[in-house]
Structure formats: C-alpha cells, structure tokens
C-alpha cells in the first residue's frame, strides 16, 4: 500500500497477524459505542493532577491540564484509522504524511466531542523521530506513545513539572503555519509515560502545524 497518498483504498481483509487487533480487542467488552467512548475519554482525562502547594496559600499551584490527544503508534495508521472509525463512529479530521512535509511518518487524527485520537505509523527511518518510533514498535508493538495535555501556559507547566521530578524530553518551543501558532513541550513521568504539553489557544488549524484537513472516506 502506498503511504504517500490520501486516496481512499479499500482495506485488506484481516489476517492472522493483524497489527491493528491489539488495539481493537478491548472493544469487544463494550455493549455499545457510548460505553467505548466513555472509556477512551477516561483514558484521556486527568493526565496532570492538580499541583500540591509547597505551603498553604502558595500562588504557584498548577491547575490540572485537560486532555488534548491520545497518540498511538501502529504498524499501519490508515488501516487502524479505518477500523477505529468503523468501530467507534469517529471522524477523521486531519492528516499528515510525506506530501505534507512529514517524510518519516503518516498520521490520521480521529475526533469526537471531547475525544481526539492520533494514529501514527512509520514510513521510513531518516532521523531521531523515525528511530524513536521504530524502537518503540520493536519494544512494545502497537500502543500508546503519548498522552498530550492542553495547558494555558506551557513554559510554566513545564517548569512546574520538571521542578517536581518530571523528566525533560523537550523544552518549550513554538511551531506555526498559516493557521497560527502552537506552543509545545514534552515531559516524561514515572512508568515511562510521555506527556506533550500543548497550548493551542492561538491556533485555528485541524490539529497541529504539518497537518491538513482530511476530506477522504
């Protein structure tokens, strides 16, 4: 299957080794779509607990962040996106890949009210991003790569978390395109979970710079 096209291609029938199945098996326990969506929303919620003040009345307490996205790395992002769309009734709202300036990956953004899921797969290994995804897939297989958190002040949230023991993965930085600018940072917490801190208050695009609105399917 070509990875450099947004054209709709009928998915192949499931094989005995379907890389999407590990993500979809848990859906079998749900009686309906609403229960599944509630569970996914619970996964996405409350990534950052409210800060605990060092002393009563501490004005520097960090407010809890809001879920921004759950990012999965998978063997075949298009196939996974089609399956999630069919299983949960999500809409595919954005896409990034080689033709949008992302030579190493293809990504599909699926959304519903209060829920955003990003499915990313590797096209080729060129730099650190590709090596990171390849290593993650080799160690863990398909699964959650990042739990992104929306915050009002990325530098403050980043400093607050790192000062209290979080691992710095990426210091605050800004990315922009014709839709505006997004401020990002990344931290690691015990257990190996990655959290991207996101302030998209100055951005009107479909997801992040580098993504384009998706009109297929």
Residue 23 has a pLDDT of 43
Question: Quick check: pTM over 0.75?
Answer: no
Look at residue 62 in the predicted model and tell me its pLDDT.
Answer: 52
Q: Give the Cα-Cα-Cα angle 75, 81, 84 (nearest 5 degrees).
A: 115
- Confidence (pLDDT) at 211: 96
- Dump pLDDT digits (tens) for 151-173: 999 999 999 999 988 999 999 99
pLDDT below 50 — which residues of the chain? Answer: 1-33, 36-59
Contact at 8 Å (CB) between 149 and 43? no
Q: Is 36 left (phi over 0), alpha (psi -120 to 50) or beta?
A: alpha
Report d(CA 136, CA 73) in Å as an integer. 8
**Can you give the pLDDT at residue 190?**
76
- Return the pLDDT at 216: 81
d(CA 103, CA 108): 15
Instruction: Please give the full DSSP string across 131-176, using - where no structure is assigned.
Output: HHHHHHHHHH-SEEEEEEEE-S-HHHHHHHHHHTTPEEEEEEEEEE
Q: What are phi and psi of 23, to 5 degrees?
A: -80, -30
Residue pointed to by tokens 């607050």: 160
Classify the phi-psi angles of 131: left when phi > 0, otherwise alpha if psi is within -120 to 50, otherwise beta: alpha
């Amino acid at each position: 299957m070509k990875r450099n096209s947004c054209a709709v291609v009928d998915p192949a029938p499931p094989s005995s080794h379907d890389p999407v199945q590990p993500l979809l098996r848990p859906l079998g326990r749900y009686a309906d779509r609403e229960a599944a969506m509630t569970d996914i929303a619970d996964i996405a919620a409350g990534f950052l607990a409210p800060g605990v003040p060092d002393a009563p009345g501490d004005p520097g307490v960090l407010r809890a962040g809001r879920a921004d996205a759950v990012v999965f790395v998978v063997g075949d992002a298009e196939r996974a996106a089609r399956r999630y769309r069919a299983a949960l009734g999500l809409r595919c709202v954005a896409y990034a890949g080689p033709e949008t300036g992302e030579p190493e990956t293809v990504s599909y953004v699926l959304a519903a009210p209060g829920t955003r899921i990003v499915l990313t797969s590797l096209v080729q290994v060129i730099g650190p991003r590709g090596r990171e995804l390849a290593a993650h897939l080799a160690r863990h297989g398909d699964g959650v790569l990042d739990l992104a958190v929306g915050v009002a002040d990325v530098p403050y949230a980043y400093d607050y978390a790192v000062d209290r023991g979080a691992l710095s993965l990426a210091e605050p930085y800004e990315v922009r395109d014709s839709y505006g600018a997004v401020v990002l940072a990344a931290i690691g917490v015990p257990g190996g979970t990655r959290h991207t801190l996101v302030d998209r208050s100055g951005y009107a695009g479909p997801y992040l710079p580098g993504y384009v609105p998706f009109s297929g399917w």
